[in-house]
Structure 1
């Protein structure tokens, strides 16, 4: 995926294969895949004294670099040359660089002590001209904010925290394109207040309004902004249409499969769910958006009594029928027409290819159209 010119990867991972390839790194890669983080990992075994041109290119084409400083990282000339390129990208391209001190003391990396000192004793003999560059790169990287494996209970927790950190940074760097739409910023802010991010209760928020008012757009923008903060998330679009085409059980299985990250999970009952599935969901803080719910039966079948979601979960429902939200909904956000000037701006941006140089008569005609439709997009 390319976010901008020259960028192909979310993160480049620098690691010592003999220390991490078949353990820590393999689990980290799985976490990144689950969070849709596109990581470049050099799967080839290190060979030669210089890293390849393709590897240098991959570093430059990454938004971030994650450096896994393990015990024998400094013994690899390959790793040290990668590190020099990464620090150069940080200084010249403002690339984000995040160190992970994996079973290694940051001070050993910073000052080349312990196993790092032993590695540099050998490098001083054979690669004396490169040593100053390597030492400088290690020092700069070790002074960056990162993760120390020693402060986490186990590797699983460390990997989860790293995945969440990178996902959050990516969301900040590339907020949803939806947030640039006319008049939507205030609506998103209003919905955030209703969600009460951080509270431990399970909250259900209804978004209600007539067709074409932007209910789905608002829900999608909020989902894109916050989904990385949850352990499971699912945006189920066009529930009314999809249930007519495939049946409600198809949608229920789709939600559970997505939240539990298990392909083709099949629940045969429209009401309730097996105990083992409920127990798994209770351990997860999830974000679910059910878009275009048309009746309360759909809502009951898809999320039930809401007692099966973990603390801090959020369910967002969009609907044209306020009666759907009569039970079990904590707050209802009514989507009202845009302010008049915003409605004109939205109309003109879609009706005319280039509205910067329109004659006044076209602008006045646009205003009449908006008055006639009472601001409904």
Structure 2
């Protein structure tokens, strides 16, 4: 099976759709674009462009995933993650979101790993309870290891919450300490998670803050 190569223009298109789905209306020029949210869709006119490289007629349930959404379900599954999924799918882009793509009887660890391997564009939504989930952290570490494009979305958290976790500081530090205190996660795996958070905190991404 030949994996689609993600060109720069596709990355721009996917990112534009991501922004529209998040209802972002203003973005700053900084390395991490700080954005506010409102009820408008300023990027609606860009959404149809994503279908230029993936047409609905050629898209089937058996084709490889092009985009993988890494997220904490209790925070964003029914809101931001679903909006991004629906916006991308509406243009014919093949997207993996667990609640819609996993079927009864699927061995989900292997299904999720296969989806991450096939996708050439990963969206990681960092939210308040993200670091409490071993699944989220394990997915993130794996995404970094396979070396594909990762666009971080900092949803009511800041990049330094990820960056400082390795030093025991920031919002995610307590969650990581709790994983350690329970003794269920090997120290090597915890270090792998912390390094993944630290690394992705330097990726160009978007900070979403609700200004309403």
1:89 corresponds, among 135, 146, 158, to: 146
Q: Is the 8 A contact 1:2 1:9 kept in 2?
A: no
For residues 26 and 153 of structure 1, what CA distance do their matches in structure 2 show?
21
TM-score by length of 2: 0.61
Specify the alignment match of 2:91 in structure 1. Answer: 35
CA distance in 1, matches of 2:146, 2:171: 27
Select the residue among 23, 27, 49 that pairs with 2:79: 23
Q: CA RMSD in A?
A: 2.5
Tell me whether 1:121 sits opposite 2:177 in the alignment.
yes
1:104 equivalent in alignment to 2:152: no
Spell out, residue by residue over 1:165-203, the C-alpha distance to the aligned partner (whole angstroms, 9 max, x if none): xxxxxxxxxxxxxxxxxxxxxxxxxxxxxxxxxxxxxxx
2-side partners of 1:2 and 1:9: how far apart? 12
Matches within 5 A, 1:223-238: none
CA offsets 1:320-358 (integer angstroms, 9 cap, x no match): xxxxxxxxxxxxxxxxxxxxxxxxxxxxxxxxxxxxxxx
Q: Which has the higher contact order (CA 8 A, sep 6+)?
A: 2
Report the number of matched residues.
143
| Shift of residue 34, structure 1, vs aligned partner | 2.6
Considering only CA atoms, is the larger Rg found in Structure 1 or Structure 2?
Answer: 1
Find the residue that maps to 1:149 and give its secondary structure.
strand
Contiguous gaps of at least 5 residues in structure 1: 46-50, 155-377
Q: Distance in 1 between matches of 2:4 and 2:163?
A: 34
Distance in 1 between residues matched to 2:159 and 2:172, nearest whole Å: 11
Cα distance in 2, alignment partners of residues 31 and 124 from structure 1: 38
Sort the Cα spacing of 1:2 and 1:43 in 2 relative to 1 into closer, same or farther, 3 A. Answer: farther
Q: 1:2/1:22 Cα in 2 relative to 1: closer, same or farther (>3 Å)? A: farther
State the distance in 2 between where 1:62 and 1:133 align.
Answer: 21
Contact 1:29 / 1:39 at 8 angstroms: preserved in 2?
A: yes
The unaligned stretches of length 5 or more in structure 2 are 6-62, 103-107
